[in-house]
Amino acid sequence: MQKMNKHKNIRQLLKTATGCLLGAAATVQADAEEVFFSGWETDIAVLAYSESDDRVSAYEPVIKTQKTFADDSVLGFKLVLDALTGASPNGATPSDQVQTFTRPSGNGSYQTQSGETPLDDTFHDTRVSFSANYQHDLGRLDKMIWGGNLSKEFDFFSTGLSATYLHDFNNRNSTFSFGLSGEYDLIEPVGGIATPLAQMQATDQLQPKGESSDTRFMGEVLTGLTQVIDRQTIMQLNYGYAQSSGYHNDPYKVTSVVDDSSGALVSGESLPGTYLYDSRPDKRIKHSLYGKVKHAFGADSADFSYRYMWDDWGVNSHTFNLAYRKNFTNWYLQPTIRYYMQSEADFYRHSIRESEVAYIAPYLTSDYRLAEMWASTLGIKIGFKTANGNKNSIRLQYYHQDGDKNPSDAIGIQKNYDMYPTLDAFVIQYNYSF
Amino acid sequence: MKTVYIALLSGSLLMSGCSSLGVQPWERDLLARDDMAVDNAPLDSAFDDHIYFSKEASSGGQGFSGGGCGCN
Amino acid sequence: MMKRTIQLLAVIMMFFATLQVNAQPVPQWLDKVDMTQYQNKVVYLDFWASWCGPCRKSFPWLNSMQEKYADKGFVVIGVNLDRDINTAKQFIKNVPANFLLYSDPGSELAKKYKLVGMPSSYIFSASGELSERHVGFKKSKVELYEASIVKLLNQLPENK
């Protein structure tokens, strides 16, 4: 050993000597680079999402990596790819006739059979999203987390920045957090921006479209307190405020206009039916109150959270989430259940009557996502370590969403059909960490 | 605006009342466990948030850390 | 005669060489922490637990400090605060320690020294006085920690 040490010392001396001749910086640089590229903790994950009835399917591979440095600062990166296919409800309601709709590009049309929920299958889109975050200490009890993100898909571009401040007190039993974020969105719909409340026209007609793109900006504040209650229990309470201004319409969605007494299609200007393009306010303010409790039951734990959201569009929602973690020596099982319910937006209608067209302005939407709706998710996650000590997990979820299928204001033939596009989706996800 | 005032007031009351709650630094063994981290599976949360944002009218709410080992 | 002596020396050197290459530090668990035993030594009392991430990071550095300054009168005592000593022993199997260890499952010493964070280190000068206290362990601060050890070691009569 002594002999080996002696040789090591000579090698060190030579290295320093060479360093002095060539410029010590070169050697230091090489060492520093080697050090920077080692010690990254990486996660790769894949999610497969599939809705029933030929609706949306998505495949989402993700790679995420982060490194903790000598001063406890953390640098992280994440890349998400999202490939979507399948059809989405376009907002129109089922009728007793075949319905014809024009594709967003204005070139081409698609049809819906009688009694079916109209679905637009135009889109096969791919989204790429990249985000980076950096966390560092300001003092022993204070930290900052900085974040940036970029996202691009065919008709949408988004970029954002965020900064969060965290402060520990009460012997680290309490953590106060205050975060600010801003997001800029550029919406470039296929076929251009549809004129709100204008009628959908047949393919051979002049399309009621305006500019090729529009923008939206959102600012958000998220503040909260995390509190250790006792050795087994921790709680978190957050308040969030978000304000967005700019383009909020869904340029691909329409509202059906039906006959006042029969509920049947009303002849349009160039189509067999009358459909009005989506129109929403150019401003939205959202508030959220979120609470979570985690409690350890021996080697197991339970996680319960509740969120109440309300906005100035008339929507308010409740979200309940419960997860139970059963830890075994080398693996774990985690069943979860989620229940969600929301009220409808002030300007949501499943369809409107012909006599209302004249005074329906300024806002109108039939987007099911702004309807009165409830959803439940059942999930199970299994985690285990492979032979080399790396973590794996598989997650399965079933999501069911429903709304008022038989609204009290359904007219005539509408009473025969489901006025809400019920959704069933399966999700499978696999994670690997190394 | 009134709701904001109520929220801020309850927030400050919470923070002052919380000084009596908690544990000693050496009693954080259970809290330091992976599954007891406030957001112990950020990839899962991100996937879920994205799905729910696409299908529902609400988004976000969940905040940042605290808890855990309480070390350093 | 010369040849035999050299051969013998070679064998002895190789024996010690193999000892050093193969030897794992043997964990020594003390029955009690009696500061009077360490007069004229600089004692580094380090409070750790198996669930504490930064503690795990500090062990290689503590090992190197103990080895480097042992013959200058430096003694590291790792006070473990796990409720169950077996959890700590399992940790030591994976993250070896070449310094003295003491099990304090009831956190008596932690309470005595009014611990505010994990890990915490208390450095006692030769006269047994508490000289310095560090809360937390950061790899970027090791030079600072080492400087405070050296400062106290230099006060020992044999190091002057």
Of the pLDDT bands very low, low, confident and very high (cuts 50, 70, 90), residue A99 is: very high
Q: How far is CA A95 from the centre of its chain?
A: 32
Which three-class secondary structure state does DSSP give residue A1? coil
Please tell me which residue, C104 or C1, carries the higher pLDDT value. C104
Mean pLDDT of the region A381-385? 96
- Structural domains of chain C, count: 1
Residues B2, B3, B6: CA angle, nearest 5 degrees: 90
Contacts for A380 with CB less than 8 Å, ≥ 6 apart: A333, A334, A335, A336, A395, A396, A397
pLDDT at C54: 95
The structural domains of chain A, ordered by start, are: 1-38 (no CATH), 42-433 (2.40.160)
Chain C residues in contact with A38 (beta carbon < 8 A):
none
Q: What percent of chain A has pLDDT over 90?
A: 88
Residue C5 domain-assigned?
A: no
Residue C50 domain-assigned?
A: yes
Q: Which of these ranges, A208-212, A250-254, B46-50, C13-17, has the smallest mean pLDDT?
A: C13-17
Please tell me which residue, A27 or A417, carries the higher pLDDT value. A417
Which residue carries 């490194």 as its tokens? A67
Assess contact for C140 and B49: CB atoms under 8 A: no
Dihedral in degrees, nearest 10, Cα atoms A150, A151, A157, A162? -40
Which of C117, C135, C140 is opposite residue A70, by nearest beta carbon?
C140
Spell out, as residue ranges, where chain B has pLDDT lower than 70.
1-18, 63-65
Chain B residues in contact with C137 (beta carbon < 8 A):
72
pLDDT at C159: 76
Of the pLDDT bands very low, low, confident and very high (cuts 50, 70, 90), residue C28 is: confident
Residue C3 domain-assigned?
A: no
Chain A CA closest to residue C15 = A1
Q: Which of these ranges, A15-29, A113-127, A335-349, B26-40, has the smallest mean pLDDT?
A: A15-29
Inter-chain residue contact C17 with A172, CB threshold 8 Å? no
Of the pLDDT bands very low, low, confident and very high (cuts 50, 70, 90), residue C42 is: very high
Q: What percent of chain A has pLDDT over 70?
A: 93
Q: What is the mean pLDDT of chain A?
A: 92
**pLDDT tens-place string over residues A17-50:** 444 444 444 555 666 677 788 899 999 999 999 9
Residue C36 domain-assigned?
A: yes
Residue C136, token pair as written in the block: 């937390």
| Residue A5 predicted with pLDDT over 60 | no
B33 lies within 8 A of chain C by CB: yes
Q: What is the mean pLDDT of chain C?
A: 89
**pLDDT tens-place string over residues A136-145:** 999 999 999 9
Chain C residues in contact with A71 (beta carbon < 8 A):
138-141
The continuous run of DSSP H or E covering A134 comes out as: strand A125-137
List the chains bordering chain C where 3 or more Cβ pairs fall under 8 Å. Answer: A, B
| Residue A16 predicted with pLDDT over 60 | no
Residue C70: CATH number of its domain = 3.40.30.10
| Residue A10 predicted with pLDDT over 70 | no
Chain A residues in contact with C138 (beta carbon < 8 A):
70-72
Q: Give the Cα separation of C157 and C160 in Å (integer).
A: 5
- Nearest chain C CA: its distance from B19 CA (Å): 15
B37 lies within 8 A of chain C by CB: no
Chain B residues in contact with A141 (beta carbon < 8 A):
none
**pLDDT tens-place string over residues A311-328:** 999 999 999 999 999 999
| Residue A345 predicted with pLDDT over 90 | yes
pLDDT at B10: 66
Which of A1, A72, A172 is opposite residue C117, by nearest beta carbon?
A172
**pLDDT tens-place string over residues C46-103:** 999 999 999 999 999 999 999 999 999 999 999 999 999 999 999 999 999 999 999 9
For C109, the domain range is 26-159
Please tell me which residue, B7 or A91, carries the higher pLDDT value. A91
DSSP symbols for A254-322 = EEEEE-TTT--B---SSSSSEEEE-B--SEEEEEEEEEEEEEEETTEEEEEEEEEEEETTS-EEEEEEE
Task: Measure Cα distances from A224 to A127, A178, A240, C4 in Å.
Answer: 31, 7, 8, 78
Amino acid at A321: N
Inter-chain residue contact B26 with C136, CB threshold 8 Å? no
Residue C15 domain-assigned?
A: no
**pLDDT tens-place string over residues C87-110:** 999 999 999 999 999 999 999 999
Residue C4 domain-assigned?
A: no
Amino acid at B69: C
Task: Measure Cα distances from A145 to A164, A182, B32, C50 in Å.
Answer: 5, 14, 21, 28
Of the pLDDT bands very low, low, confident and very high (cuts 50, 70, 90), residue C35 is: confident
Reported for A157-161, long-range contacts at CB under 8 A and 24+ positions apart, including other chains, are A157/A185, A157/A186, A157/A188, A158/A183, A158/A184, A158/A185, A158/A186, A159/A183, A159/A184, A160/A184
Residue C21 domain-assigned?
A: no
Residue C106 domain-assigned?
A: yes
